[in-house]
Amino acid sequence: MAEKIDWSKYAQQQDTALNSKIGNINLKDETKVNKSNSDEVPDVASPAEVSLLTKIIRKGLVHNKNDIEIQRQNPNSPLHSVKTFEALNLNPNLLKGIYDMGFNAPSKIQETALPTLLAEPSQNLIAQSQSGTGKTAAFVLAMLSKVDATLKYPQVLCLSPTYELAIQTGEVAAHMAKFCPEIEMKYAVRGEEVPRGVKITEHIIIGTPGKVMDWALKYRVFDLKKINVFVLDEADVMIAQQGHQDQCIRIHKELRQTCQMMFFSATYDHEVMTFAQAIVKNPIVIRLKREEESLDNIQQYYVKCPTEESKYRALTNIYGTVGVGQAIIFCHTRKTANWLAEKMSKDGHAVAILTGDLTVEQRINVLDRFRGGQEKVLITTNVLSRGIDVEQVTIVVNFDLPVDVNGKADCDTYLHRIGRTGRFGKHGIAINLIDSSQSMNVCKSIEEHFNRKIKYLNADDSEEIEKIGA
């Protein structure tokens, strides 16, 4: 029998170990480039790295008031929602753990997802919602609620695409189960081993597909047929990892038909849904409509700037005239970002810079300082265009318009970039600096795609600039 451990303490130890290593993780594009020209290429990060960073920098739930969209096999079947955690009839010690974590009431996605996840008979679920809206807390609460602590074998299996993301989920589970010492959990990640001939007695396994496959199918240290709840977290990231999709399907094939499936994803494209339908049978689908889908409260402008110096002059004119809270400036490459940060700093602006050559630890420090208002301007590339939620951001500047590998307008990235302003129901301003006929064509393509007018702004006319901030 496995030695009983204090899971909460163990998770904290694992998290401390992770944080000591995490500073050495360098988030770079998976495309191989020569070091000599790496500053010249578009600066991006892999999906798993972006997801990890987004989870780490969240300081609490995003307050999203947008509508829930629900799809199900039987539209006449009633679906319940709750406004309080008490309404879920939870184990009192679990409820105590939820409140200890600072959750006072269910988030928008939790209101509908939790009654579905906790219902009897069990219902399969696919939930899609941006990071920070409470997805992890929702499925962790369901995992803990479904455990029969008197049965000494694994009953719940949660898969994450990477070691670091599994540790993040484990930390949430540990905190939520703080007052439930009878519930035992185990990581199935690199560095964790089970002695030969020993069976796992913990109730919940949180791990990565490769390690879980080894333990379940190769060494037979636990029985997949006894798993009652199967959670697939970060599904969009999972299918981006080579080999993970096949591993997940192999694990899934060993599960009972009656095993409850919980599938969570930040995106919901065709590839993700095809994968979901191979995993989840007759699911209820819950989607939280993204805040970024609405551009109604963001004023969009373009400024003609023939040279890099004129782009800089336009930028400083706008920043110096408009009553700006905080600003985010997006560049295409690290080289441009570094040049701009140095120039603005010399001119006396409090500037932070976030690019792909920073470690995770450095990025977290940069974002914490920006969020705390210690720097008013954040200059960045696309490394985290989807994960920065700062209420005081009133203006976003596209120093370079986002384009794909063919030089065509990248409308999805544009949406996520300018969605960094106008958040939490406030009004925002987006400025696009146009330095060529090509970038003008990109701007027109974006305008047509979203059917939203991008107005011309004369950045040399201070009176005109003042009007946009009024």
- Give the mean model confidence (pLDDT) for residues 272-293: 75
Tokens describing residue 119: 């219902």
Q: Prior bond to 121 cis, omega within 30?
A: yes
Domain boundary among the residues 265, 289, 313 is at 289
Q: Report the distance separating Cα 187 and Cα 155, nearest Å.
A: 14
Indicate whether 101 and 249 sit together in one domain.
yes
pLDDT exceeds 70 at position 83: yes
Domain-located, residue 320: yes
Cβ(328)–Cβ(396) under 8 Å? yes
pLDDT digit string, tens, across residues 114-146: 998 998 888 999 988 766 667 888 999 999 999
Query: In which residue are the tokens 């146009």 written?
Result: 434
Domain-located, residue 19: no
Indicate whether 250 and 348 sit together in one domain.
no
The band of 360, judged by pLDDT with boundaries at 50, 70 and 90, is low
Indicate whether 274 and 344 sit together in one domain.
no
Percentage of the chain lying above the pLDDT 70 cut: 76
pLDDT exceeds 60 at position 3: no
Q: Report the distance separating Cα 55 and Cα 58, nearest Å.
A: 6
Indicate whether 358 and 399 sit together in one domain.
yes
Domain boundary among the residues 274, 289, 304 is at 289
Cβ(168)–Cβ(214) under 8 Å? no
The band of 59, judged by pLDDT with boundaries at 50, 70 and 90, is very low
Check residue 353 and give its pLDDT: 92
- Expressed as residue numbers, the domain containing 379 is 292-468
Check residue 193 and give its pLDDT: 92
**Per-position DSSP letters for 196-246, written without gaps between them:** TTPPP--SEEEE-HHHHHIIIIIS-SS-GGG--EEEE-SHHHHTTSTTHHH
The band of 81, judged by pLDDT with boundaries at 50, 70 and 90, is confident
- Give the mean model confidence (pLDDT) for residues 312-327: 80
Domain boundary among the residues 256, 271, 289 is at 289
pTM flag (> 0.85): no
Check residue 215 and give its pLDDT: 96
Check residue 145 and give its pLDDT: 96
The band of 182, judged by pLDDT with boundaries at 50, 70 and 90, is very high
Query: Which residues is 231 bridged to in the sheet?
Result: 158, 262
Indicate whether 250 and 358 sit together in one domain.
no
Domain-located, residue 8: no
Query: Mean pLDDT across the chain, nearest whole number?
Result: 80
Domain count, the chain: 2
Q: Report which of residues 297 and 214 the model is more confident about.
A: 214
Indicate whether 363 and 262 sit together in one domain.
no
Check residue 207 and give its pLDDT: 96
Domain-located, residue 153: yes
- Give the mean model confidence (pLDDT) for residues 393-415: 87
| Of the listed ranges 56-60, 80-84, 112-116, 183-187, the one predicted with least confidence | 56-60
Domain-located, residue 9: no
pLDDT digit string, tens, across residues 415-454: 878 877 765 556 788 999 999 999 999 999 999 998 899 9
What is the DSSP pairing of strand 377-380 with strand 351-354? parallel
Domain-located, residue 30: no
CATH number at residue 83: 3.40.50.300
Indicate whether 303 and 428 sit together in one domain.
yes
